[in-house]
């Protein structure tokens, strides 16, 4: 008998349709709901309960078995602890990238292999390819507005050899249409937004429960004190809302965060969306990772993204061990330490790095 395909199912429409497509192709499908977080939201509701109820309805409709796997300890140890540590360092982490590497395609993948599964499927909008040497490549999802290869750049050959992305070749509208045709209960369910463990909650209030904040001065680029901030952990480069400052020079231009100075606990701001201090011609990166295990060359030209859904930007990459320097063809706005720079060669995601600083 063919080995089953284990699919991570979340309660959302993407993973539901992915499961349906696998079953339509004749695969033996086993659905697993991953529980990564247990805290209730501000209204006293644990969203995992609602999600699991939806998973139950989907799996009963598709007539596939479903189970729950609890990865809350692994998530706290491998993802959430890093998230808090990065914030304390003044950076803006992206936990979804780490969750894919450490939870979905490590802890969960290990569990699936112990169940003797032939593959692990998810509802990611990404695709797989094979090079002439037999190695796996990660390709963009067909829907440019939903492509999630950015969040998967930390995966390696072993993970990709076991991965399946059944909806990667579809547009979101096609996924919704298929869900409606199948009568799935989540066909019209709203997509989840924000960081997975924060969801729709107030970000600052959530962080205050886990990290101590130290208020300090808000200072302009000339050193003038303009006001007070609530704690550097609550702000990120390029932020406008939440600074609580009026127009700078009386012309109504808003203030934007351009720097966080940990040594003096100062939040540095500049006037206007296009303030020169918001732009950088290059960046430095660390924790450099390439999906094929090594860089295409010590120096190479490609395109990159420094945030999800950003249009591709031309760049030149210089590799130095597990670090890199990325020089942009055009200066980029709000290069943010802690976020990821992800490299592309056409449709192929090459890999990426964690942004250390603008350079």
Residue 329 burial (CB count, 10 A) = 12
β-partners of residue 320 are 323
CA separation for the pair 15, 88 (Å, rounded): 34
Nearest to 260 by CA among 228, 225, 218, 227: 218
- How far, in Å, CA of 198 to CA of 78, rounded? 17
- What token pair was written down for 155? 């995966």
- Total residues found in the chain within this entry: 359
Distance CA 262, CA 164 (A): 43
12 contacts 49 by C-beta, under 8 angstroms: no
Q: Is 196 an annotated catalytic residue? A: yes
* CA diameter of the chain: 74
Beta bridge partners of 121: 7, 164
Let me know if 99 is a catalytic residue.
Answer: yes
Q: In 3D, which of 201, 194, 176, 203 has the Cα closest to residue 12? A: 176
Please name which of 289, 251, 257 lies closest in space to residue 275, comparing C-alpha atoms.
257
**Contact status, residue 3 vs residue 116, Cβ threshold 8 Å:** yes
**CA-CA-CA-CA torsion sign (162, 168, 169, 170):** positive
Residue 18 contacts residue 166 (beta carbons within 8 Å): yes
The C-alpha atoms of residue 231 and residue 298 are separated, in whole angstroms, by: 40
Cα distances (Å, whole numbers) of residue 110 to 19, 34, 82, 106, 225: 20, 13, 21, 6, 53
Which residue in 99, 304, 315, 324 is the catalytic one?
Answer: 99
- Within its chain, how far is the Cα of 115 from the centroid? 27
CA pair distance 292, 128, nearest whole angstrom: 13
The answer to whether residues 338 and 95 touch, using CB atoms and an 8 Å cutoff, is no
Which positions are annotated as active-site residues? 99, 196
């Amino acid at each position: 008998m063919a080995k089953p395909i284990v699919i991570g199912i979340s309660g959302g429409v993407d993973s539901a349709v992915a499961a349906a497509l696998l079953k339509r192709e004749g695969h033996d499908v086993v659905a697993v709901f991953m529980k990564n977080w247990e805290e209730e939201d501000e209204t006293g509701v644990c969203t995992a309960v609602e999600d699991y109820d939806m998973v139950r309805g989907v799996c009963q409709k598709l007539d596939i078995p479903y189970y729950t796997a609890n990865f809350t300890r692994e998530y706290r140890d491998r993802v959430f602890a890093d998230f808090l540590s990065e914030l304390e360092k003044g950076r803006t982490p992206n936990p979804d990238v780490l969750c894919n590497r450490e939870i979905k395609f490590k802890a969960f993948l290990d569990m699936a292999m112990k169940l003797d599964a032939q593959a692990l499927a998810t509802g990611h909008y990404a695709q797989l390819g094979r090079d002439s040497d037999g190695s796996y490549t990660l390709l963009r999802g067909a829907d440019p507005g939903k492509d999630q290869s950015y969040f998967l750049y930390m995966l390696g050959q072993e993970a990709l050899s076991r991965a399946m992305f059944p909806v990667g070749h579809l547009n979101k509208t096609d996924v919704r249409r298929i869900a409606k045709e199948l009568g799935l209960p989540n066909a019209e369910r709203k997509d989840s937004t924000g960081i997975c463990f924060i969801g729709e909650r107030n970000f600052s209030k959530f962080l205050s429960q886990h990290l101590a904040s130290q208020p300090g001065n808000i200072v302009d680029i000339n050193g003038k004190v303009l006001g007070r901030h609530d704690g550097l952990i609550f702000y990120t480069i390029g932020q406008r809302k939440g600074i609580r400052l009026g127009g700078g020079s009386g012309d109504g231009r808003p203030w934007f965060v351009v720097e966080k100075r940990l040594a003096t606990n100062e939040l540095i701001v500049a006037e206007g969306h296009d303030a020169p201090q918001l732009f950088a011609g290059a960046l430095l990166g660390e924790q450099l990772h390439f999906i094929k295990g090594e860089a295409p060359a010590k120096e190479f030209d490609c395109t990159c993204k420094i945030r999800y859904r950003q249009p591709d930007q031309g760049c030149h990459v210089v590799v130095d061990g597990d670090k890199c320097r990325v020089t942009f063809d055009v200066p980029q706005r709000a290069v943010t330490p802690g976020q990821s720079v992800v490299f592309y060669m056409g449709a192929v995601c090459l890999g990426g790095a964690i942004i250390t600083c603008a350079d």
